[in-house]
Structure 1
Amino acid sequence: MSLAAASEARKTRLTALRKRKTGEATDDSAEPAFKPRNFDPETRTIKKHTRDDDVEMQDTVEKDVAELAEEIIQEDKARQAQELDVFNIAPKRPNWDLKREMDKKLSKLERRTQEAIHTLIRQRLAAQKGESDDIVGAMKAEEQQQQDLSDEED
């Protein structure tokens, strides 16, 4: 095959590809470029997918939902028919919910209790040193100082 013949063959293939891409008919035949696979041009409606024996395919989602709804209704009726077992409802430890609610309040009280203990300890230490602001601590500190002075004089 010569170069000229090869180039001519290539050109014809390229033009045929361009025409096929754009949707133009490559042959002079009466075949339309548009093939209605899902659309019926005569009735102007969408075709239903059919099997070989022309049985329409049923919508499986609706069928599944209907079956599931029936199953759920039957299970619900069976549960209602059973007697209510009180032991399955009651918690194993009857005061677990009280403890859960009290934990929050107890944590606040625990913090306040610790603060109160610390202040009491500080007051006692200050009273022992004689540097207290409260009246009882000051009186005890004065008595302590007087005893110390009387012991030194003797």
Structure 2
Amino acid sequence: MGEIGNLEDEAMKRKQRLANMKRKFQGDDQDGENSESEPLPQPIFRSYKPITEELGDNVLPQAEPVDISEQVQDSVAKAKEQVLEDLDFMNLAPRKPDWDLKRDIAKKLEKLEKRTSRAIGEIIRERLKGQDLADAVAVGASHAANSYDED
């Protein structure tokens, strides 16, 4: 039986709390229990100019701009120095218009150079077989002497 009385007491307390909350929201505080209501927060206007004079007290004064030109010039000067130090002028040079073509056919050119050198070697061997070795050396030496004199 003691539990039933306890439940009734809790139900009464809950009803009173709900009634107090209802009165608080409706604004008529008849019992005087909640006579000390919290003050409403006042708005602060930074860039808005209120129409009513009552809200004029909440306007913040206009902030005066600070001259920061010296700070900006210092930071720009530091940035220019740093950029000039960090620049790699070799990477800034424009590439030739056919650089990508050369990159793509480099492997094929290596194969062709090997084949060309083999073919030149075979041609020289055939000529040497057809001529006497001494004559070929003499012709090669005379050709080398002529090209040396021309330079």
Shorter-chain TM band:
0.3 to 0.5
Query: Normalising by structure 2, what TM-score?
Result: 0.41
Greater relative CO (CA pairs within 8 A, separation 6+): 2
